Structure 1
Amino acid sequence: MTARLFISYRASDGADKATALARDLEELYGDEQIFLDKDDLGAGVPWRAEVARTLQARPILLVLVTPDYLGATDAEGRRRIDDPRDPTRIELADALAANAHIVPLMCDGVPAIPASADLPPPFDQLLERTWRRLRAYDWREDFARLVRDLDGLGLERLGAGGGAATAALAAAARRRRLVVGAAGLAVVTAGAGGWLWLRSRQRDLSGRWRVRIGARGATTARTADAMLVDVVHDGATIRFASGPVDIRNDPDWRDYRAFWRQRTGADLTHVLYRADGEVLTQSGEPIGAAVERGALLRVTAALRVLTEAGGEPIDSGSFRGTVEDDDRRIRGRLWLNSEQAERVVELRRDG
């Protein structure tokens, strides 16, 4: 399948936001429909030729207008957008030539749509399009608006229309079920001895865990305050749920609490963390009933941050970690869309 959604950005300050946007879009539309150069170009592939080929398929072009997208300069102080060799200029020119649908996204640090007199061709053509916002502090609202636009342009969601990406996922799931089912049948036919062998290798991460999330830029979470999280683990699925977490004295929440108060008139004092995901083997396959004790496991989960009142998440992200062989510690990293960055996370069984 040819990608339909292409993300164009300036690498100097747009790579993290482009990665976060691609991750969220892939959850809705599948990775086959999303093109992000750093993820979709193989080693040794001429990037300009591949990007031009993708754009010729008339996709939707999302342009991340960060401060550097239009304002970056070279070593001599000249604007990059005035250079005919500028990669973002080439991408935009190719997209216009292919009659792609272009959506400029005004990101953090860009207070207003620039004036036409400040933009050389082809960047002046961005002013002929409808602009949207994509801000870290209001990611949920801005992303939801963008998704409504993409749905209106006919981009097919996973599971919505039985497309090729959906069919491929369904086929993979069927193959997984067949493999697990065959393995289970083999164990049953082995008799009582086989059943005891199976039970001796079951893994269970359920229970209460203490979670520490490191500060921004920290390499460890050891000194962070701990919060209690209940974990429910059943086969290949895993869920995390915290109780109310007090954020009143947390400096990382100060700006958002002020924004929330201005927007709603209420004080945001506590949040809830929820995550749903999978437990995988080191090779990336969901675990079956029998996993040898001591084998390393991986956990991946989609994160939601909620208010105590519930409703739509106020933040989202993802977690990935490795389970230590005694099943009492998980070390990993947490990506928060509001921060466009990762944090170190450590989980230990409580008690």
Structure 2
Amino acid sequence: MVPRIFLSFRKPDSRWMRDRVYRALSDRLGAHEIFKSGQSIPPGADFAEILRRQAAECELMCVLIGPRWLDARDEDGVRLLDRAHDWVRLEIATALRAGNRVVPVLLGDATMLPGASALPADIAELARLQFLRVPETHLPDGLEHLGDAVTALLSDTDTDTDPAVEPGHSTAPAADPEPSMTMTAHVSGGGSAYQAARDQTIRLA
């Protein structure tokens, strides 16, 4: 069974907070529902194939963004995000191309969502997606709110298909048949909502 939630993160960035996020979501939903590369890829497995497949098939990708996420660099001073084979970039681009719901999760009180101009073109859409924040100063409340939001988003994914119409129980006589029109609403699963404010969290419909 493919885990429903993919945690995308950069290893040197906010490790203790992302570990708290992982534990909180695992306690809430079960560890089998959360894909985190360090825990979810067995020894000897083809990690590249697993990462691509999980990113493409997840229902929800949480992109954990801390203070060092955007500007982390390699030993030559090249920004990691600018490398074509940066795994964080590849994970996000794969999920976006697949039409999966992607939610930036800002770790800490002051972390800002990067602007589109600061991101490579294949993940620039990330800058337009509404985010959640896990503040360090109110961490327990922030983790609880994150769990509530993620649970609701997964429930929303479950109900994206049109519900079956149940037969009515009215005893009134049937009216003469009249021409009818069927309307179908197509709901986007991408969740590409523009953010109204820098520190606004996801508002669930």
CA contact (8 A) 2:8 2:63 kept: yes
Please tell me whether residue 102 in structure 1 is matched to residue 102 in structure 2.
yes
Residue number in structure 1 paired with 2:33: 33
Partner of 1:58: 58
State the one-letter code of the partner of 2:133: R
Matched residue, 1:343? none
Question: How big is each residue's C-alpha offset from its partner over 1:62-113, in whole Å with a ceiling of 9 and x where there is no partner?
Answer: 1111122111012222211111011101111111122111110111274422
Q: Distance in 1 between matches of 2:155 and 2:15?
A: 23
Cα RMSD over matched residues?
Answer: 1.9
Residues 9 and 134 of structure 1, relative CA distance in 2, 3 Å threshold:
same
Q: Which residue in 2 is equivalent to 1:240?
A: none
In 2, the alpha carbon distance for the partners of 1:121 and 1:16 equals 30
Q: Aligned residue for 1:205?
A: none
Structure number having the greater strand percentage: 1
CA distance in 2 between counterparts of 1:13 and 1:58 reads 23
Q: Is the 8 A contact 1:61 1:103 kept in 2?
A: yes
Q: CA deviation at 1:133?
A: 0.8
Report if the CA contact (8 A) 2:59-2:154 is conserved: no
**Gaps spanning 5+ residues in structure 1: where?**
157-351
Mapped to 1, the partners of 2:155 and 2:44 lie a distance apart of 30
Q: Relative contact order (C-alpha < 8 Å, sep 6+): which is higher?
A: 2
Matches of 2:35 and 2:41 in 1, distance apart? 9
SS of structure 2 residue aligned to 1:122? helix
Distance in 2, matches of 1:89 and 1:70, equals 11
TM-score normalised according to structure 1 size: 0.42
The sequence identity of aligned pairs, in percent, is: 24
How many residue pairs get aligned? The number is: 156
**Alpha carbons 2:71, 2:79 under 8 Å: kept:** yes
**Residues 9, 15 of structure 1: 8 Å contact kept:** no
Residue 142 (structure 1) shift: 1.8
CA deviation after TM superposition for structure 1 residue 6, in Å: 0.8
Q: How far apart are residue 117 of structure 1 and its match?
A: 1.9
**In the TM superposition, what whole-angstrom CA distance separates every residue of 1:308-327 from its partner, at most 9, and x where no partner exists?**
xxxxxxxxxxxxxxxxxxxx
1:137-170 per-position Cα deviation (integer Å, ceiling 9, x unaligned): 21122222222222222359xxxxxxxxxxxxxx
| 2:40 aligned partner, one-letter code | D
TM-score, with normalisation over the residues of structure 2?
0.70
Distance 1:154 1:20 in 2: 20
Aligned residue number for residue 334 of structure 1: none
Asked whether the equivalents of residues 56 and 98 of structure 1 are also in contact (C-alpha less than 8 Å), the reply is: yes
2:124 maps to 124
AA aligned to 1:16 is W
Kept after mapping to 2: 8 A contact 1:60/1:101: yes
Q: For 1:132-147, what aligned pairs fall within 5 Å after superposition?
A: 132-147=132-147
Say whether the 8 Å CA contact 1:58–1:99 is kept in structure 2: no
For 1:68 and 1:41, how far apart are their aligned partners in 2?
A: 24
1:153 has 2:164 as partner:
no
Larger Rg: 1
| Helix, strand or coil at the partner of 2:154 | coil
CA contact (8 A) 2:24 2:147 kept: no
**Is the contact made by 2:55 and 2:92 (CA closer than 8 Å) also made in structure 1?**
no
